[in-house]
Amino acid sequence: MRRFPQITTDVVALLDEWAARFFEELDYVREGGNATRFAAQMAKDLPQARDLGGA
């Protein structure tokens, strides 16, 4: 970062955090669970957000 002395952010930590969240987003089993939980929580107020059961 010698070329950009005005940057005071910990760039390595920033990229590490980004990479961790990026790979979490690629965890499709986890994301499927999140979608199912969201549908259950929204079922009363937003019935069109339902668990499609793998459809």
Q: Give the domain ranges of the chain.
A: 9-55
Residues 6+ apart with CB under 8 A from 41: none
Beta carbons of 30 and 24 less than 8 angstroms apart? yes
18 burial (CB, 10 Å; 0-12 / 13-18 / 19+) is exposed
Task: Using a cut of 0.75, tell me whether the model's pTM lies above it.
Answer: no
pLDDT at 44 exceeding the cut of 90: no
Beta carbons of 34 and 28 less than 8 angstroms apart? no
Question: Tens of pLDDT along 5-43?
Answer: 787 888 899 999 999 999 888 999 988 898 888 888 888
Beta carbons of 50 and 39 less than 8 angstroms apart? yes
